[in-house]
Structure 1
Amino acid sequence: MDDTTRRTTIAERAARAGGELALDRFRTDIAVETKDGKTDVVTQADRDAQERVIEVVREEFPDDAIVGEEEEALKTVPEEGPAWVIDPIDGTSNFVRNVPIWATSVAAVIDGEPVAATNAMPAIDDYYVADEEETWLNGEPVSVSGREDPETCTVAPTLWWDFEQREAFATVVRAIVERFGDMRRFGCAQATLSMVADGGLDGAMSDVRPNPWDTVAGVHLVRNAGGRATDLEGERWRHDSEGLVVSNGVVHGTVLEAVRSVRQ
């Protein structure tokens, strides 16, 4: 088994293990805490799931860097060497309100570039996996949509805008509904990116600088499924880029146009 195959296997194993732990706590009477704002919530399930993910990774790759949302994990992706980017429960706001759209996300990165990723969504029994070449949903290969007409497309504003940025959020929503056939917002960035990868959505965007644990795995899924991911200038997206725009590739220009309306 080569190194990338090992990392793909461990990414899936770790995401499933963390997701199963979180699922055991889902729709139970779990205490909810807040971090930086009233809607920025965290639970002990987040912390325990992250620990479980790290345990699985460490069994095979004990010396790799860990980047993650909770506790003492690194908050930026190293530019050199191997690392793992983890979100134990992406969509905790859904999790605590008993909404089943949340994901345990694990990406393996080498020199700042993802080589393997899994988004496990155990509450709906969906598991997205990508190696260096393909993306699968529940073991079957998937690809982005082939829609060309924006008026037939569904697009999502990916990340949440804080209260002081609600004018920007309103501008993005208006830009989407003026250009595309429909809009969705799922409250889970990794789930949203996964749905672009499997063609359920045709695009997603935000002008906010995203955290790597909210995005790296999903971007890898999208690219391996034939889609495109860029920054606000249309340049290839990296973990430290400003904003994030993903699409099936065909309507990428229109998605970029919509998110740029915020800056205008």
Structure 2
Amino acid sequence: MTLHDLAGVAERAARAGGAVLLDHRDKVLEVTLKDARVDVSSSADLAAQEAVVAAIRAERPDDLVLGEEDAPDTSEPVAGLCWWVDPLDGTRAFIDGFPWFATAVSATLDGDPVAAAVHDPLRDELYAAVGGGGATCNGVPLQVSPASRAAEVVVCVQAQSADPAVIAEFARLMRAMLTVSGGVRFPGAPALVMAHLAAGHLGGYVERDMAPWDVAGGRLLIEEAGGRVTDFAGQVRDGSVRHDIVASCGGAVHDELVAATGMRFEEG
């Protein structure tokens, strides 16, 4: 099976998850907290993951499939081919009826993202990428923003935690990005954010401690659309391991955003 074949599997699986999400929009959901008050899951997440995994296994029965709702350990690299599933990217938005959510499916091969699909079912937009084969939305090629300075782009800075230390770090990063960029947003749904960055609608995205199901596919979309994705030190990381993320349209913009992650501020 070629990388293009894997991308086809990812696209069909992402559409299967998106269909389930549309079906659950008007249903009463069972909601579960993963922390004190912020990180949530729902019966829609579980149903969508079941549909995505079933779609992958129908074509790739022997492959390793890891989904967010199974909470797998992502501290060590995964060798070989692995599928990563975020069945409902933007759970909080989905629960509240805010139209900003998607299903994200990606595959890594020895830690390198090689196939990706992010399906926004409300807009029927399928963002897809294959290693070395470009990135598209509904078949139309994607290209990152041509901006040459961070001051010209909007950056997403995000966090999802009730932990005071995580909140404090988020506030520091938010201040740093406000200092160098043309604006900051916090929409949630990181895979969908990265898809829109690949499409040139955003110029940057910064977040701590992100899992592969959130960002591996988005990384491939952005790289295939001409952008860059690294950690806070500017290094490309193994895509099967949880790590900090700086994603951008590339060039000097990326260098400025990486530098800004190190900013510290005196109170007062």
Q: Is 2:7 aligned against 1:8?
A: yes
1:122-161 equivalences under 5 Å are 122-132=121-131, 133-161=133-161
**Aligned mates of 1:204, 1:222 — CA distance in 2:** 11
TM-score (norm 2): 0.91
Q: 1:257 maps to what in 2?
A: 259
Aligned length: 261
Q: How far apart, in 2, do the equivalents of 1:156 and 1:42 lie? A: 22
Alignment of 1:15-30 (within 5 A): 15-30=14-29
Range moving further from structure 2, 163-172 or 104-113: 163-172
Q: What corresponds to 2:188 in structure 1?
A: 187
1:177 aligns with 2:201: no
Q: Residue in 1 aligned with 2:104?
A: 105
Distance 1:10 1:235, change over 3 A: same
Distance across 2 between alignment mates of 1:230 and 1:144: 16
- CA distance in 2 between counterparts of 1:212 and 1:30 reads 26
For 1:74 and 1:161, the matched residues in 2 are separated by 18
Please tell me whether residue 202 in structure 1 is matched to residue 203 in structure 2.
yes
Closer/same/farther in 2, CA of residues 78 and 149 from structure 1, 3 Å limit:
closer
Structure 1 residue matching 2:69: 3-state secondary structure: coil
The percent of aligned pairs where both chains have the same amino acid is 35
Deviates most, 3-12 or 163-172 = 163-172
- The 2-side partners of 1:241 and 1:162 are apart by 19
Deviation at 1:262, TM superposition (A): 5.7
Cα separation, partners in 2 of 1:262 and 1:62, compared to 1, 3 Å = farther
In structure 1, distance between residues paired with 2:199 and 2:264? 27
Aligned 8 A contact 1:27 1:98 in 2: no
**Which residue identity is paired with 1:231?**
D
Q: Tell me if structure 2 keeps the 8 A contact 1:23–1:123.
A: yes
- Structure 1 distance, partners of 2:235, 2:68, is 26
Q: Which residue of 1 aligns with 2:30?
A: 31
Q: CA deviation at 1:119?
A: 0.5
Relative contact order (alpha carbons < 8 A, sep ≥ 6): 1 or 2 greater? 2
**For the Cα contact (< 8 Å) 1:82–1:109, is it kept in 2?**
yes
1:75-86 equivalence runs, <5 A: 75-76=73-74, 79-86=78-85
3-state SS of 2:256 partner? helix
Cα distance in 2, alignment partners of residues 154 and 199 from structure 1: 10
Q: Which whole-Å CA distance do the structure 2 matches of 1:143 and 1:237 have between them? A: 22
Deviates more, 1:154-163 or 1:119-128: 154-163
Q: How does 1:22-101 map to 2 (within 5 A)?
A: 22-71=21-70, 74-76=72-74, 79-101=78-100
Across the aligned residues of Structure 1 and Structure 2, the Cα RMSD in angstroms comes to 1.9
Q: Which moved more, 1:235-244 or 1:48-57?
A: 235-244
Partner of 1:229: 229
Give the unaligned 5+ runs of structure 2.
none
Structure 1, unaligned runs of 5 or more:
none
- TM-fit CA distance, 1:78: 5.3
* Matched AA of 2:143: S
Query: Could you tell me whether the CA contact under 8 Å between 1:27 and 1:96 is conserved in 2?
Result: no
Amino acid at match of 2:79: E
Deviation at 1:183, TM superposition (A): 1.3
1:94 touches 1:101 (CA, 8 Å); kept in 2?
A: yes
Which is further off, 117-126 or 253-262? Answer: 253-262
Give TM-score, length-normalised by structure 1.
0.93
Distance 1:185 1:233 in 2: 22
